[in-house]
A and B are shown apart, each in its own frame.
Chain A
Amino acid sequence: MSGHNESILREPLITGKNITYAQITDDILLPVENKANKAWWIGFIISVCGATLWVVAVSYTFWFGIGAWGLNKTVGWAWDITGFVWWVGIGHAGTLISAVLLLFRQNWRNSINRSAEAMTIFAVICAATYVVSHMGRPWLAYWVLPLPNQFGSLWVNFNSPLVWDMFAISTYFSVSLLFWYTGLLPDIATIRDRAAGLRKKIYTVLSFGWNGNVKTWQRFEAVSLILAGISTPLVLSVHTIVSMDFATSVIPGWHTTIFPPYFVAGAIFSGFAMVLTLLLVARKVLGLENYITMFHIESMNKIIILTGSIVGVAYLTEFFIAWYSGSEYEQYAFINRSTGPYWWAYWMMMTCNVISPQLLWFKKIRTSIAATWILSIVVNIGMWFERFVIIVTSLHRDYLPSSWAMFYPTWVDVSVFVGSIGLFFTLFLLFLRVLPSIAIAEVKLLLKSASEQAKMELIKDGHLNKEQVQEYVESLEKFDSVKQEEYAKI
C-alpha cells in the first residue's frame, strides 16, 4: 500500500514535519507511558462520579424493583430501551470504520479506527447493562440464552425479536472485541518492547507473543481481513435486528417496514457523531493533531450529512406512509408524535437530526472544530430523542384510548442514563491511558505515501503540476497543525 506515491491532489492524512516512525510511536504512546495530565484527571473524576451514580441507580432498581422507574401499565419501555438503542447505535461507527472502510481501502480510517472500535465496545457494554437492568427479574437474565437446562423442556422463543437481539448483540460484541484486540497486538508489542518491570510483564502477556516477523504480519493482515469480512454484515444486521424489536410488533408507530435501513443509517449517524465528540477532545488533550487531521474531521462530517439526510427522508417517509396506509391508528400515531403531548420531543429530534446537520454543507462549519464538536453533541441529543419518540410516543397512545397515559421519568431513570454516560467515559479514559488510542502500526503505513511530509518531498522534487500544488497548498489552510509559511518558502 505504501509502495507508490499518492496524488498531490489528496489532502495529507498525517501532518507535521520531520515525522519518523519513532516519532509516531513516541507521539502516540505519550499518554500511555507518562503520568496523566490535569485534563485527564478532571475528566476521569467526573466520569467516575457518573459511573458511581450508575452503580447507585442500578443497585436501587435491583433492590426495589423496576417500579423505581417511571414506567406504567401503558408505557412498558421508556428511558431503558431508549438508552439501549442509543448506545447500540453509537457503537456502529466503530465497526463501520474498522471493517467497511478497511474493505474499501479507505486509508484515512487508520488514524481513527482504534478509538472508534474502543468506543464501540464500551457503548455495547453500556447497552448490555440496559438489557439486563430493564428486566423485572434480572437475576434470571440468562434464561434468554438457549442454554441446556434442567428446568424441564424449557427453551427460548426463537420467534421473539428479543432473542434475535440477544444473538445480535452478543455476536456483535464478541466480533468487535476480537477485531479490536487483534488490531491491538502489534501496538501492545510495541509498548511491551519499550516498557520495563511489571508493565513489561503485563504487556508481554497481552501481546500474545507477537514477534513482528513477516509471517506474523502476514497472518495479522489475513486475520484482519477475515474479521472485517465477518464484521461487515454485522454493521447492517445488528441495528436491523434492534429495529425489529419494534418493526415486528403490532403497535402503530412501531410496526413499520422502513425501520431496518432507517435504524442502520441512524446508528452510523450517531456513531460518527460520538467519534467526533470523543476525538476532537482527545486529539487536543493528547496532542494528536498531526494524526487526526482536519481531513478526518471533514470526512466524518460528510458521512454525518449523508446519514442525517437518510434519517430525515425516513422520518418524512414514515409520515407519508401513515397517511397513505389509510390506517387511522397509524395516522393518529404520527399526528400525535408531532402535535401530541410529546411534540417537543419530536421537534427536538427533527431539529437536531435533520435540520442542524444540514449546516455541515457549509465548508466553513464542516471544518470548524468548535462547530463540529457542538453539532456532534447535538446529533447525539437528537438521536436519543429519536428513540424516545419512537418508543414512548408510540406506546403512550396506542389502540384503546382508555389506556392512554403519560410517562414521567424518575430520578432513577435519569441517573441510570447519566450514569451510563459516566461509565462509558470512565472506560474510555482508562483506555486512553493503557492502550494506544491510534493504531500505531497502521498509521505508520501512511507516513511514506499520504503524509504531509511525503507530499512536501514531492513538491520539493518539483515534478508536479503547479496548479495542483497550488490547490494542495490552499487546501492545507484549514489544517490547524500545518504551518503555511513552510510552503511559502518553496
Chain B
Amino acid sequence: MESNKKYWKGLEEYNNTPDFVENNKNEFAESLPIEDVLSEAGLSTVTPRRDFLKALGFGLGAVTLAACQKAPVHKSIPYLIRPEEVVPGIPNYYVSTYKGNSVLVKTVVGRPIKIEVNPNAGPFSTGTDAQAQASVLDLYDVSKLKTPLLKKEESNWAEVDAFVKGELNKAQASGKKIRVVSSSLNSPSAKAVIADFAAKYPTTKHVQYDAVSYTGIIKANENSFGKAVLPKYNFDKADLIVSFAADFLGTWISPEEFTAQYISNRNNKSLEKGKMSRHFQFETGMSLTGTNADTRLPIKLSEEGPALITLYNEITGSNLPGGALANNVNADKALKLVAKELLQNKGKALVVAGSNDVSTQTLVNAINAAIGSYGTTIDLDNACQRYEGNDAAFAELIDEMNRGEVAAVFFLNSNPAYDVSNAKAFTTALAKVPLKVSFADRADETADLCDAVAITPSYLESWGDANTYQGFYSIVQPTINPVFNSRQAEQSLLMWSDNAIQDYYKYVRNNWEKNVLPFVGKTWKDVLQSGVVSGTAKTAGSYTFGLSLNAVASSIVTSSKALQKEIEVHIYESIPMRDGKNANNAFLQELPDPVSKVTWDNYIALAPKQAEKLGYKEFDVLTVKGENGYSVELPVLIQPGQAMGTASIALGYGRSKVGKAGDNVGKNAFPFVSFSNGTLKYATTATLAATGAKNELAQTQTHYSFEGRNIIREASLKDFLKDPAAGSGNHHKHKVYDLWTTDKHEKLGNDWVMAIDLNACTGCSACIVACNVENNIPVVGKDEVRRRREMHWLRIDRYYSFNDEKTGEGVTEEKEIAHMSNLDNVSVVHQPMLCQHCDHAPCETVCPVLATVHSSDGLNHMAYNRCVGTRYCANNCPYKVRRFNWFNYWNDSRFDNYLNNEFTQLVLNPDVTTRSRGVMEKCSMCIQRIQAGKLSAKLDKRALKDGDIKTACQQVCPANAIVFGDKNDPNSEVSKALRSERVYYVLEEINVQPGIGYMTKIRNIDSETKEVHA
C-alpha cells in the first residue's frame, strides 16, 4: 500500500551506503576463513586455531557419543492386525495335557511360559509335578532339530514323505512286518491313527514298552483276576499303607495324584479331625516315599520277596516256604506288627510293591485280597492306562528284527537305543531293518540310527488327547504354532497311510465327537475350555484271589537267592530325571534330588556303615561292574537309610545325544536292568572297586542333621491327640521385648503371609521348579552348585535324625551320630525354606542403599535396580534364603546351560525382570501375581477374595502344603491355618517376626513301632 511507512534500522540503512548494500545481501554472514587457511599464512592466524578447536571439540564429542554404546537393535514386529484374544501383558490360559495329566498353559503374547494347574481336572486338579513345570523349557530347547532329517541330512517334508512312502510300499510288497514302537501311549486318537495305519499296512503291530516298566503288575493282575490292567489305587481310602519299595509319592505310576490322596489323610485338616493314616515302608534305597513313612525298614532287595511271603503267612496263617528273614530281625518284627495292623484295618488298608516281578506282584495281590483292598483301596474296574508297556513284546521285537522279519520300524516317543537294558542287542538288530523312522524332536540316540527323523513338535504345539483312567479323557491343544518345521507323528502316520482325514486336528475332533463326547453329553467347545471329560465311574468290584501260590513263592525264592551277593544293586528312577527323556532340561538337571540333594549327576548310594566297612569315603569314584559285565564309574554318595549290603543307582543319566545341557551328565544305568521271567528287573548285583579318583557331587545341602535345634518341631500322633500343641513349643513362649513399642507399623490393607504344613509336604520339589519358571531364576550349572551358588529362591531342607536303638529317641547332633553303631533307623523331615518376609527383617536394616525394604502389606521387597551388591543382607539373613548373582548367568557363555540364546529367552516370564550380575535376589512371594490379582479385582470393582492370588509354589503343590494369603482377613485359609496349635515359626526366638508359620511334623509312631527297631 502506498501509505506504508518505511522504518529504518540505522543510519547506515537510511543513508544506504554502498557498504551497507553489500553487507545487507548476506545479513548474518561470518565468512569462513577458508582462504586464510588454505594460504600458508592462514595457519598462523588466530581464528583457524579457535575454529580448529571448535571442530575438534564437536568432532570428539560426537564421536565419543556415537561410540559410547552401540544401542542393541531389537527387531520387534508389531501386530498389524492384532489377534482378538492377545493383549500384550495379559496372559491367556489354555487347557492341555502333559503326560496324561491335565494342565493349564499360561501364554503371554503367544508364548507359552508356564504350566499351571487345571482346577477342573478331577484327580489332577491339586497340583503338578516337577516335570510338567519344567516342560515349557523343552519347547525353547535349541538342541532340537529344526527340519526333518533324511539320511542324517537336513531335508524337507516332501522328500521325507516320498522316501518313507516308497519304503513302506516296498515293505508292504515284501510282506514283511512293520512295527510302531512307542512308550505307553495313552492317547485314544493316536492309538486310532496307528490302528488306521495298521489297516492300510496290515503287517503293522504297535509295540509299547516303558523304560521304567509296570508289566509285572499288569501281568500279575491278568494272572490273578483276568484283568491285564494297572489298577486305580485309592491312597485316600487307606488308613494303613504298607509299601514294599514302591515310591508312590515320587515316581511310582501317578505320584502327584497319589500324593494328594495320601496327604488327605495326614494334613492339618485330617489331623484336626484326629485322623492320620499310618505308613510303613520296607525298601532298599531311601526313596521320597520312604522319607515320609512313619516307620521305615531298610531291607535288601533279596529280602523283599521273603518279606512279602512272611507277611502273607502272618495274615492268612498259611505256611508258604521261603519266608524267613533270618538276617533282618527288625524287619521281621515289623512285618508281624504290620500283619496284625492290616488285619485290624481290613478294607481300609493298602499294600503296594514297586517290584516289576510278576510273582512278587501276584503275592501282593493275594495279600491285598486277603485284607479286602479290592473295591476299596484298589479299583480294578476304572483301570489306570498310564502304563501299558509289555517287556516281552519289546524283547520279541529285537528277535524279529534280528531274524530280518521287520521291514520298517517307527519310533514314537521312545528311545530304545538309550533306555533299554540290552541297547547293544537292539542297535545291532535295528541295523537289519530297511526303514527306520524316528519321531523324536532331536537327533537322539535312536534317531541317530534312523533313516529319517520326522521331527515332532512338543505337546505345547500339538493336538492330542489322553485317557489316563478308563472313562477319563483330557485334551491336548496347541498353545503356539510349531516353532520349527516339525509335524506331529500322528499327522505323519495319517499322511503315510493315505488316511481319508489328513489333518490330525480334524482327526482328534472327529474321534472325540464320535467316541467320547456323545457319552458324556459335552461339546467340543466344552472340552477345549474344561480340558477334561469323565463318564460316570464304574463301581469298583471286590475281587477274590484264587490262585495257588506255591509256584509263585518258589519263583520268588529263586529270584531272591540269585540276588544274594555281597552288593545288591537297586536301579531306580530319580525324581528330577525320571527315565531320562527330559535330560536336556536344565531346570530338571539343577533340581536337587529330594532325598540326596544332588544335582547334575547320578551316583552310587551306599549306607554310611557300608561305606565305612568297604573303606570308601564320600565322592570316591568306584567302578561298578554289574553281573552282565556292564561297568560304569560312579562317585559314592553316603545315603543314610540305605540297606546294608546294597547300593542304589538312578536311571535317566548318561545320555549321549540329548543336547547341550544333558549330554554326558552322569552315567547310564539302564544296562544294569535285566530281563527275566518275562519282565524287566530293576535289581541286580555288582562288584565295586575303587578307582582312586574323586568326583565331588554338586549338592545343595551338605549338612544333614539339624543339631537338635528347634527349627524342626515334631510330635507323635499319640502326643498330638492328647495335646494339639505337642512339640510345637507353643506352651513355653518367651516374653517378647520390643525396642520399638511406639513405632508400630499398621498394616491397613493386606498382610501377606504363608502357612506351611510339614506333615503335608512330602518334599517332592515341584514347587522349586515352579518357582524357577515363574521367577526367571537362572540355572547355574554343576560347578556353581558345587560352589554352593545355586539360585533357587525356594529350597527344601531335608534333615535326617537317627533314632537310638535303646531309647528310641531321635539323635540329631552330628557329633553324637558319629558315635552311633546302628544308623538304619532314620527319620526324615522336609522343610520348604524361602524368604520368611520377616516383619523385623534383619536384611532390611543393614542394606546401605535401601535396596531391600518392607512394604505396608507385610512383604520384604527387593529393588534390584538399587542393589549395589554388598551382600550384607544375605550374611545377616538367619534363614540364608537370599541369592546373589555372582555372574551374569543369563548372558555369559561360561554358564551356557540354556538361556544364552534369544530363542530360549522366550521362556522368560515378562512380568519378572531378569537380574544382572552383582545383584541380590530372593523370594518375592510372587509379587507379580499379587499385583495381577489386585488389579483384576480392581477391574472387576470388587474386593480381593481369599484364593484370588496363589503363589507359584502354592499352586503347584499336589499336597496343598503351602497356603498363602491375607492375615488381615480372619476368614482366609491362611489365617485359619495359622490359628492351628501346631503352628510355630522358625527361629522365632530371635524375634525377627517371620511371616511364614510352619506346622509341626506329626509321626504316627508309638511304642510298638519303636519296639520294631529296638
Which residues of A approach B to under 8 Å, CB–CB? 64-67, 70-74, 76-77, 134-138, 140-141, 143-144, 154-157, 159-163, 166, 245, 248-251, 328-329, 332, 395, 397-405
Which residue in chain A gives the minimum CB-CB distance to B863?
A: A154
**Complex interface: chain B residues within 8 A of A134 (CB):** 870-871
A399 to B872, Cβ gap below 8 A?
Answer: no
Q: Which 9 A-B pairs have the closest CB atoms?
A: A136-B869, A136-B918, A67-B886, A76-B871, A402-B797, A403-B880, A72-B788, A162-B848, A137-B918
| B888 touches which of A65, A160, A161 (Cβ 8 Å) | A65
Given that A70-B787, A76-B871, A405-B702 are contacting pairs, would A399 and B847 also be in contact in the complex, using a CB cutoff of 8 Å? no
Interface check B92, CB cutoff 8 A: no
A76 to B878, Cβ gap below 8 A?
Answer: no
A77 to B703, Cβ gap below 8 A?
Answer: no
State A161–B872 Cα separation when bound (angstroms).
10
Indicate with 1 or 0, residue by residue over B841-855, a CB within 8 angstroms of chain A CB atoms.
010011111100000
Which residue in chain A gives the minimum CB-CB distance to B882?
A: A73
Given that A143-B868, A250-B842 are contacting pairs, would A136 and B880 also be in contact in the complex, using a CB cutoff of 8 Å? no
**Complex interface: chain A residues within 8 A of B886 (CB):** 65-67, 71
A136 to B703, Cβ gap below 8 A?
Answer: no
Interface check B65, CB cutoff 8 A: no
Indicate with 1 or 0, residue by residue over B681-709, a CB within 8 angstroms of chain A CB atoms.
00000000000000000000111011111
Can you add 14 more A-B contacts, CB < 8 Å, to A135-B870, A136-B917, A154-B866?
A65-B886, A66-B886, A74-B880, A77-B871, A136-B871, A136-B885, A137-B869, A137-B919, A143-B866, A157-B849, A249-B875, A329-B709, A400-B986, A404-B702
A156 to B884, Cβ gap below 8 A?
Answer: no
Interface check B887, CB cutoff 8 A: yes
A325 CB → nearest B CB, Å: 12
State A91–B225 Cα separation when bound (angstroms).
86
A65 to B846, Cβ gap below 8 A?
Answer: no
**Complex interface: chain B residues within 8 A of A328 (CB):** 708-709
A402 to B868, Cβ gap below 8 A?
Answer: no
Given that A163-B848, A249-B876 are contacting pairs, would A399 and B987 also be in contact in the complex, using a CB cutoff of 8 Å? yes
**Complex interface: chain B residues within 8 A of A66 (CB):** 869, 871, 884, 886, 918
Which of A70, A140, A400 has most B Cβ within 10 Å? A400
Interface check B883, CB cutoff 8 A: yes
| A402 touches which of B799, B882, B887, B987 (Cβ 8 Å) | B799
A250 to B887, Cβ gap below 8 A?
Answer: no
B884 to A136, Cβ gap below 8 A?
Answer: yes
A401 to B878, Cβ gap below 8 A?
Answer: no
B883 to A73, Cβ gap below 8 A?
Answer: yes
B874 to A76, Cβ gap below 8 A?
Answer: yes
State A67–B889 Cα separation when bound (angstroms).
10
**Complex interface: chain B residues within 8 A of A161 (CB):** 846
B595 CB → nearest A CB, Å: 14
**Complex interface: chain B residues within 8 A of A72 (CB):** 787-789
State A65–B787 Cα separation when bound (angstroms).
15
| A160 touches which of B845, B867, B987 (Cβ 8 Å) | B845
Interface check B992, CB cutoff 8 A: yes
Which secondary structure characterizes the binding site on chain A? loop
Which of B701, B705, B831, B916 has most A Cβ within 10 Å? B701
A178 CB → nearest B CB, Å: 26
State A401–B883 Cα separation when bound (angstroms).
17
| B879 touches which of A65, A155, A332, A400 (Cβ 8 Å) | A400
**Complex interface: chain B residues within 8 A of A166 (CB):** 848
Which residue in chain A gives the minimum CB-CB distance to B831?
A: A402
| A76 touches which of B701, B703, B787, B872 (Cβ 8 Å) | B872
State A400–B866 Cα separation when bound (angstroms).
28
A251 to B878, Cβ gap below 8 A?
Answer: yes
A405 to B788, Cβ gap below 8 A?
Answer: yes
**Complex interface: chain B residues within 8 A of A77 (CB):** 871-872, 875
B867 to A250, Cβ gap below 8 A?
Answer: no
Q: What are 6 A-B residue pairs whose CB atoms fall within 8 Å in the complex?
A: A65-B888, A73-B884, A136-B919, A160-B845, A398-B880, A405-B788
State A160–B872 Cα separation when bound (angstroms).
10
State A67–B888 Cα separation when bound (angstroms).
9
State A311–B701 Cα separation when bound (angstroms).
36
A160 to B848, Cβ gap below 8 A?
Answer: yes
Given that A66-B886, A73-B790, A401-B799 are contacting pairs, would A136 and B846 also be in contact in the complex, using a CB cutoff of 8 Å? no
B874 to A73, Cβ gap below 8 A?
Answer: yes
State A248–B802 Cα separation when bound (angstroms).
37
Given that A66-B884, A73-B880, A137-B867 are contacting pairs, would A402 and B789 also be in contact in the complex, using a CB cutoff of 8 Å? no
A69 CB → nearest B CB, Å: 8
Interface check B81, CB cutoff 8 A: no
A162 to B880, Cβ gap below 8 A?
Answer: no
A156 CB → nearest B CB, Å: 6
Which of B703, B797, B848 has most A Cβ within 10 Å? B848
A144 to B868, Cβ gap below 8 A?
Answer: yes
Which residue in chain A gives the minimum CB-CB distance to B842?
A: A250
Interface check B711, CB cutoff 8 A: yes
Interface check B795, CB cutoff 8 A: yes
B842 to A249, Cβ gap below 8 A?
Answer: yes
State A344–B863 Cα separation when bound (angstroms).
40
State A398–B706 Cα separation when bound (angstroms).
12
Which of B703, B849, B879, B919 has most A Cβ within 10 Å? B849
Which of B880, B919, B992 has most A Cβ within 10 Å? B880
Given that A76-B872, A162-B870 are contacting pairs, would A402 and B701 also be in contact in the complex, using a CB cutoff of 8 Å? yes
State A65–B891 Cα separation when bound (angstroms).
12
| B878 touches which of A73, A160, A400, A404 (Cβ 8 Å) | A400
A136 to B867, Cβ gap below 8 A?
Answer: yes
Chain B, range 537-586, C-beta contacts under 8 Å to A:
none
**Complex interface: chain A residues within 8 A of B917 (CB):** 65, 67, 136-137
B86 CB → nearest A CB, Å: 33
B847 to A157, Cβ gap below 8 A?
Answer: yes
State A159–B992 Cα separation when bound (angstroms).
16
| B845 touches which of A137, A159, A329 (Cβ 8 Å) | A159
State A400–B795 Cα separation when bound (angstroms).
12
**Complex interface: chain A residues within 8 A of B784 (CB):** 67
| A136 touches which of B708, B833, B875, B920 (Cβ 8 Å) | B920
B737 CB → nearest A CB, Å: 15
**Complex interface: chain B residues within 8 A of A245 (CB):** 872
B698 CB → nearest A CB, Å: 12
Chain B, range 918-958, C-beta contacts under 8 Å to A:
918-920
State A251–B850 Cα separation when bound (angstroms).
20
A410 CB → nearest B CB, Å: 9
Chain B, range 699-730, C-beta contacts under 8 Å to A:
701-703, 705-709, 711
Which residue in chain A gives the minimum CB-CB distance to B879?
A: A400
B868 to A136, Cβ gap below 8 A?
Answer: yes
State A197–B528 Cα separation when bound (angstroms).
93
Which residue in chain A gives the minimum CB-CB distance to B852?
A: A157
Given that A65-B888, A66-B884 are contacting pairs, would A144 and B875 also be in contact in the complex, using a CB cutoff of 8 Å? no
Interface check B990, CB cutoff 8 A: yes
B705 to A401, Cβ gap below 8 A?
Answer: yes
A73 to B848, Cβ gap below 8 A?
Answer: no
State A398–B882 Cα separation when bound (angstroms).
14
Indicate with 1 or 0, residue by residue over B799-829, a CB within 8 angstroms of chain A CB atoms.
1000000000000000000000000000000
**Complex interface: chain B residues within 8 A of A163 (CB):** 848
Indicate with 1 or 0, residue by residue over B35-49, a CB within 8 angstroms of chain A CB atoms.
000000000000000
A144 to B849, Cβ gap below 8 A?
Answer: yes
A398 to B878, Cβ gap below 8 A?
Answer: yes
**Complex interface: chain A residues within 8 A of B708 (CB):** 328
A164 CB → nearest B CB, Å: 9
State A155–B850 Cα separation when bound (angstroms).
7
**Complex interface: chain A residues within 8 A of B846 (CB):** 159-162, 248-249
State A401–B849 Cα separation when bound (angstroms).
30
B852 CB → nearest A CB, Å: 9
State A74–B892 Cα separation when bound (angstroms).
23
Chain B, range 886-922, C-beta contacts under 8 Å to A:
886-888, 892, 916-920
**Complex interface: chain A residues within 8 A of B701 (CB):** 402-403
State A159–B853 Cα separation when bound (angstroms).
12
